[in-house]
Every structure is written in C-alpha cells, then in structure tokens.
Structure 1
C-alpha cells in the first residue's frame, strides 16, 4: 500500500511543506486549511475564488439593463456545474422533440454498429436519445447527482471528456457483443461516471463500498429477462470509466496537465479504434 504521507501530490500547491488531502472542488488542486474557501459544495482554492469574483464582476459590467436574457446569462455564468446542466437540458429537449416528431430524433441519433461507416457520430449522439420517460428520468437523475459531483472535482472540460469518452466505450462494446442492434440512452456514460467516481474516491482514501454496491445492483438489472436493457453498453461504460478515473487519479498534479490531456486523448482514440475493429470483425 502506498504511504500517502510521502506523496508530493498530497501537498498544498501554495505551501509544499503542508500535507493535505483536500482538493479544490473546481480545479482539483490540493489545498491546506489556510488556502480553503468554503463553497456550496466543498472548498475552493484562492485562484478559483479570484477567477469566480473576476468573472462575476465582468458579467456585471457587461450586463447592461437587467432584462430577462441578461439575468439568465448572469445566473448561468455563476453556476459551478455548467456542463452537467447543459447536457441535461439538451437531453431533455431532444426527448421532447422526439415525442412530437414521431421518434424522428431516435431514428437519426440512435446507435447501430452497421451504420458506423457512414454515420460514425451515432457512437456519441446515442447519449441524447431515450426510449421512454422512465428511461430518461433515471439517467438524468443519475447524471444530475454524479455529474455535478464529478464536475466539481474535475472541472467542466475534463468532465465532458469523461462523459463522452465513456459513452464511446459503451458503443464500442455494443459493436463487439451486439452487432446490428439499435440502442439508445446515456446509460453507458452514466456507468462510466459511476466507475470514475469510484476510482477517484478510492484514490483519495475514502470508502466507496456503497457505490460499488450501487454499480453491482444496476448492472445485474440489465441481465434480467424482459428488461430490454443494453448491458453491453453498461459494461463498456464501466471499462471506460475505470480507465478515465485512473488517468485523473494518477495525474492530479497541476504540472502533469500535458500528460493528462495526452492520456485522455489516447483513451478516446483507443475507444474509437476498438469500435472500428469491432465493426470490421462483425462484417468480415
């Protein structure tokens, strides 16, 4: 077992001689008690606090008359989980449009491995379409809970990378294990969030047994007869989530940012490459 007391990543980024296991909920830097500013969720580092204040001041200066659009833009700028909010809003909007258009969006965005050569974007757009209201409700509820926590820990862009890369891994395993099957839903990415959150919690020395139980129960449900659930996408998302979580856990240090970006891109390329291999093997 690694001795965390000698891990430089567990030292305050502003005071290297002070050990701490607390991360800024926005950028992920390790911060000591002196550098912590309480936030709605967790704590923020001095740089993130200054950035928020400067952004808020800039929004106030540029806002002009407080009309409805200005107020909405100001409130959105102050959100700490913009990416999660946007994904949920787009997914709900697509579902509503799908209902009034006679499932047009499902036919355009659903994933089927046979369409990969001509419509490869379906490996990602599948995350935005759902088969029923309950399907949408469960996935968006899970995204709202775990997405906001992960976005606070990772930041918006790393969270978006996690969401879409794990979604690709879900489509990848569907290509291998259920070729020619049409699937919809964000479940692959949701399971990816579960896995990544588990890895990050364990890397911080926190108990994640309850989360492991949740993952297991939801995974078992997908194998029950008559549920019509793509368990292949769930397992693929878990694989992608564990990989991405490991990348984030091992590259926490701010100086490792170039390495982190490289590994994220490499993981995405692996997911896309395996999807192509899966397609070639099923038609060949």
Structure 2
C-alpha cells in the first residue's frame, strides 16, 4: 500500500512540474513564446555577410543587422551584455525560431507570404532591392535578362534565385552553394558567372578588400527585411514595430546605415519603411 502511495505521489509531482513549466512558458519567463518581459535574448544573425552580420575572430558579431537588433533589444529592456548572438544560415532561420534556439531573427530575412505562414514578422526595418554581383570588368551582364544561360548561384534557404528563374522566367544555369559567402568565392574563382540577391548584401561583399567583384546596379525587386519572431507573438511584433519607427524618426537608422554603407558606392534608403502589420 505504501509503495502504491509513493508511486501516486511521484506521478502527481511529475504532472505538477509539467503544469508549472507550461504556465511559466505561457507567462513571460525565459521559456516564453513572447519576447516581452525577457531578461535576456538570443538573436539569430548572419555570420558571413560583411557589413550586415559577420562573425569576428573573437566570436563576436558586427554589422547593420547586429546594431539594429541591439537597438530594438535595448528598447525592450535587454542590455547589450544580456544578448547572445547566434549565427544562422538562410535555411536555419524558421527552425531556430520554432525550437527556441533563438528568440528573434535579424538576418536579411525577407518577408514573403510563404514565410509568414511559419513566422510572425515585425518590420520591415529596411527595404532592399535584388541586384546582381559580377566579376569586376564583366560587361556581359547588365540586367536580369542577361542572366539567361549564365551560371547563377543558388544559395541554400534563399528565395533570390526564384526571382530570376521562376518569376522573371530567365533560364539561368543554377549552381548550388550553402551560403552567399560561398557564392561570392565561386564567382571570384570563375566557377559561376553571377550572384543575385539583395543589394545590401551584395554591397557588403563588393566593398570587401580585394573582392574583385562589382554590382550591376540594375535592381528588380523589393526585399523587405523583417524581424523574425515565433509564430503568434503579436504583442512582441507590435513592440518591435514601435521601436523600429522610433529608430528611423530619431535618426538612429540613418546613422547606422551611414556607418556601415556610407563608404560604399551604393545609395541606401533612410525613410521609414511601410510596415506589413502583425499577423
């Protein structure tokens, strides 16, 4: 009888722990699905994109996306020392949000209808435009139509190649790569002819010392960089949008864009982007 009572006590204790954990997660603790009220935040950024999200030799991250994330986190009440930046590739972003590896994503994360089915987006915090990167001196590609028959990078997890081959119906020869830094390396080594993605990304690569590449400067899409949040975090999304608006109105956005891209032969936009709305 005593053994039976002890077993019941153990079962009840396990159930109570499970209930307590569920309540904790629903109510704004460190396991909460919302970013609001957290004392620390894990933020997903790119690790291989110069001037946007780049991992440094000491393991720290720097770039425009990193600084925007730091600003928003600060307005949410989380200090710089309580932020953990985690490098993500394009095809890791949704899963990292779903499984709680990160709380937010600032990683040149273009808002698309397909992604909005899986992620709640704040912003956009910047509107980029898809362009083309080629080797310096290459005059054979002047616009998206010229990519027909050319070797074009297909970066894993990115939709940029679809804008060319599916939306514009340009029959480029796709060459797979794991990320855009690999694309640019292959471009410089003449293993592909062009890299096409957001101009802010391409500008960072083109401005790198000894890149040997140049932007065509023939934009053909709008790419709205969103702040990725776990699906359903409406309150967090609304707070993010307030702080992004503030960031543009008080001149912080212009300061950051000038700091990272002012020396690049590339015109950045400094007006407040039109927000998508939290869904």
- Per the normalisation by structure 1, the TM-score is 0.24
Higher relative contact order (CA 8 A, sep 6+): 2
Larger radius of gyration: 2
Give the number of the structure whose residues are more often helix, by fraction.
1
Give the number of the structure whose residues are more often strand, by fraction.
2
